[in-house]
Chain A
Amino acid sequence: MTSLVIAEHDHGTLKPATLNTVTAAMACGGDVHVLIAGQNAAGAAQAAAKIAGVAKVIHADGASLAEQLAENIAAQVLAIAKNYSHLLFPATAHGKNVAPRVAALLDVAQISDATKIVSADTFERPIYAGNAIAQVQSSDPIKVITVRTTGFDAAAASGGSAAVETVPAVADSGLSSFVGAEIVKLDRPELTAAKIIVSGGRAMGSSDKFNEVLTPLADKLGAALGASRAAVDAGYAPNDWQVGQTGKIVAPQLYIACGISGAIQHLAGMKDSKVIVAINKDSEAPIFSVADYGLEADLFTAVPELVKAL
């Protein structure tokens, strides 16, 4: 029984979500291999070889894998899938894009967003925005799993010395092509990897206010910025800052919710945070029901005060 982790990387380096996925793979039992599918991705392959607990790295390198298109990455995974009992992807935008393609072509079901590996064939996953936890058992010969990274600790990024095996890259499918990307370069930690998150809701009122009030606090704490769906829909914050059931699932050490009422869909994305602070004018706001520390105050005075006090 061997598990394969499909790494998320930018060719040069590994994305942190890969480390949590390795931990989940180890819980499945047996050896853990990591697949690096990319272009000029020797850096990522070397980094994967150093992860503690990884027995082998499989490195496929070629132009067809440069843009991480779902059709090609899925084909690359399928080329070696039969050697494995478990295929694990981080439940990130990338992992969710590719994993179901692999599962369907293997004619197996997929377990999405696993939060716990109970045994080699039994897993826990949240359903209904995390309002219920289902324990599910798969009867398929190969288990295709996406891993909710907040459910697993990161494996140590060093200490391992796995061999790197090179395999040929698949041919391009010819079905899709990459046109361009707008990736916002931030000086802040990534939302899903941040230790502290400062998050704003509809009460921020405008994009200008959102930045003016929350950025100094995030700067002071070295925090990532997040937002509720209401704030994103209103255009106060970029789409990929959305925390919630259908956005990012986060579990930082400290989550500071400013002017967020706390719809169940938002709570689904952050209620596993270690410490939750809620700052809200409305004493009835549901966010207070999950907050460790609630401050009933106008955020436009409380947040600047907080910045000064830190």
Chain B
Amino acid sequence: MKVLVPVKRVVDFNVKVRVKSDGTGVDIANVKMSMNPFDEIAVEEAVRLKEKGVVTEIIAVSCGVTQCQETLRTAMAIGADRAILVESTEELQPLAVAKLLKALIDKEQPGLVILGKQAIDDDCNQTGQMLAALSQLPQATFASKVVIDGGFASVTREIDGGLETIKLKLPAVVTTDLRLNEPRYVTLPNIMKAKKKPLETLKPADLGVDVAPRIKTLKVSEPPKRGAGVKVPDVATLVAKLKNEAKVI
């Protein structure tokens, strides 16, 4: 069974982004970029399924600028076998990415698609669900456990109040939550090996997809700043402040 793993290149999770003074966006010039952490979990899960003998080939996909090649090389260093870059300098919104990925599903016919539940830049949490809908596939979002058995996937999902397990007919789309696994560290030999793995580049037009944005960002601003309050010397003062000043207890 083939697995398709879409990965996104995002600002590294350790970077505190700054809003540009002209309000057109956030400043990502000279900022460290990495693979979206949830997508890294997705790649790791695919590799584990391959190690278990359930999966035969892992294809990493990224949609975006030329530099997404680095993200794809990282995916291949973790264990993906080959990669596809859908190259575009346009702003690619989740619906457009889902359409591109659907075109790749049609082409590659994977048995499973695993991707992160959300990208930590736009925080949209849409692509996996949209992809599943467009491809008329079942979905299991926010996965904390994935078991493949025969033509089905049993997926345990993180929901409000606890966990639920659902059974999906393959092919299916799974989005990862934090506790699905802990991605391995990539080793130098694997980074070297990844450089030799095949990376194919396509354009959205090659897949017949219109990627024009549907949502226009009018402005980006700083959130209201929350000022630091006061330090209290002891518990008694804290209780007094909460009772008399803040009046919350």
Contact = CB atoms under 8 A, between A and B. Distances in A.
A167 interface: no
Given A137-B218, A292-B246, A306-B235, A131 B178 contact: no
B201 interface: no
A274 B248 contact: yes
Contact of A128 (B26, B167, B242): B26
Interface centre among A105, A130, A132 (most CB of B within 10 A): A132
A309 B237 CA distance: 10
Interface in A274-310: 274-277, 288-297, 302, 305-306, 309-310
A92 interface: yes
Contacts of A69: 166
A182 B156 CA distance: 10
Interface stretch (B43-51, B73-81, B222-230): B222-230
Given A103-B126, A295-B235, A239 B144 contact: yes
Given A101-B129, A133-B222, A184-B162, A239 B138 contact: no
| Interface size grouping (class) on chain B | 35 or more
Interface string A102-133: 11110111111100000000100011111111
Given A139-B214, A290-B226, A100 B125 contact: yes
Interface string A213-234: 0000000010000000100110
Interface stretch (B1-9, B13-21, B57-65, B104-112): B13-21
Contacts of B128: 100
Contact of B218 (A107, A135, A242): A135
A90 B179 CA distance: 24
Per DSSP, chain B at the interface is mixed
Given A130-B223, A176-B168, A179-B154, A293 B159 contact: no
A196 B247 CA distance: 12
Interface centre among B11, B16, B125, B241 (most CB of A within 10 A): B125
Contacts of A271: 226
B12 to A, nearest CB: 12
B70 interface: no
A128 B159 CA distance: 23
B230 A293 contact: yes
B219 interface: yes
B34 interface: no
B221 A135 contact: yes
Nearest to A177: B167
Interface string B151-186: 000100111111111111100100001110000000
Given A133-B221, A290-B228, A103 B95 contact: yes
Interface string A153-191: 000000000000000000001111111111110000010
Q: Which 10 pairs between the two chains have the least Cβ-Cβ distance?
A: A100-B129, A292-B229, A175-B138, A104-B130, A109-B214, A181-B164, A101-B133, A100-B126, A176-B138, A183-B162
Given A103-B126, A126-B123, A132-B17, 5 more contacts: A101-B130, A178-B166, A179-B154, A182-B162, A309-B236
Interface of B: 11, 13, 16-17, 19, 26, 38, 93-95, 98, 117-118, 120-134, 137-142, 144, 154, 157-169, 172, 177-179, 213-223, 226, 228-232, 234-236, 238-239, 241-242, 246, 248-249
